[in-house]
Amino acid sequence: MDAKTQKSELTRAAIVGAGVDLASEQGLEAISLQAVADRIGLSKSGVFSRVGSREALQKAVLEEFGRRFLADVFVPAMQLPKGLPRLNEIVQRWIVRMRDVEARSGCIFSAGAFEFDDREGPLRDMLYGEVSRWRSALRRTVLQAIEAGHLRADTDADQLVSEINALALGLIHDARFLRDARAAERAQSTWLRLLSTYKN
């Protein structure tokens, strides 16, 4: 990779990173080429030349947030054996990420779900796709735990995924809105109690 290409890629990464920060603070609709340009000291045309339209920037932000989320929560857990060890690691890492990242800067997925719940369009479709893919991956992990005999054979995978998601939404609400310093600790206790109702 030549120096010019590398510089261009680093600039694009900085643009998208600034967009992630802005969306975390103010929502996806707050993203504009000008707002991001102002954050990193570029011209609006400089941002446009690297990412394209406002919608393209919003999509790039969703992709980057999803990449970071998977890198922190899902990918490391794949090193553990299939079944309960992997499922537990995913949930534990999710709780830690919510405590250390989203509690401070906001969760684009959860905030975006409320922001776009009554709107139609490509951005909502993309957000829906990102969230759905994550939930599908979580569901596969639950099914693997059932197949391994770690969870009861009659476990409803969709129900458990819904409960885990509700736990995460409760954590982000309590940590950010209520500013409860013990929100992650409570979520951890909730997870262990929930898990005990499904384990063999």
Give residue-wise pLDDT tens across range 163-193: 999 999 999 999 999 999 999 999 999 999 9
Q: What is the pLDDT of residue 90?
A: 98
Give the global pTM: 0.90
Would the pLDDT of 9 be above 90? no
- What residues does 199 pair with on adjacent strands? 151
Give residue-wise pLDDT tens across range 111-120: 999 998 888 9
Domain of 47 in residue numbering reads as 1-57
Locate 1 and state its tokens: 């990779």
Would the pLDDT of 1 be above 90? no
Count of the separate structural domains present in the chain = 2
For residues 109 and 184, what is the distance between their CA atoms, to the nearest angstrom? Answer: 18
Establish if 105 belongs to a structural domain: yes
- Residue 199's φ and ψ, nearest 5 degrees, are -70, 150
Q: What is the CATH number of the domain that holds 9?
A: 1.10.10.60
Give residue-wise pLDDT tens across range 58-100: 999 999 999 999 999 999 999 999 999 999 999 999 999 999 9
The residue assigned the tokens 């384990």 is 199
Q: Identify whether residues 36 and 90 lie together within a single domain.
A: no
Would the pLDDT of 8 be above 90? no
Establish if 67 belongs to a structural domain: no
Establish if 63 belongs to a structural domain: no
Helices vs. strands in the chain: H and E counts, helices first: 10, 0
For residues 80 and 85, what is the distance between their CA atoms, to the nearest angstrom? Answer: 6
Computed over every residue of the chain, the mean pLDDT equals 93
Give residue-wise pLDDT tens across range 17-41: 999 999 999 999 999 999 999 999 9
Establish if 191 belongs to a structural domain: yes
Q: Identify whether residues 78 and 16 lie together within a single domain.
A: no
Give residue-wise pLDDT tens across range 116-132: 888 899 999 999 999 99
CA-CA distances (angstroms) from residue 105 to 56, 88, 97?
A: 22, 25, 11
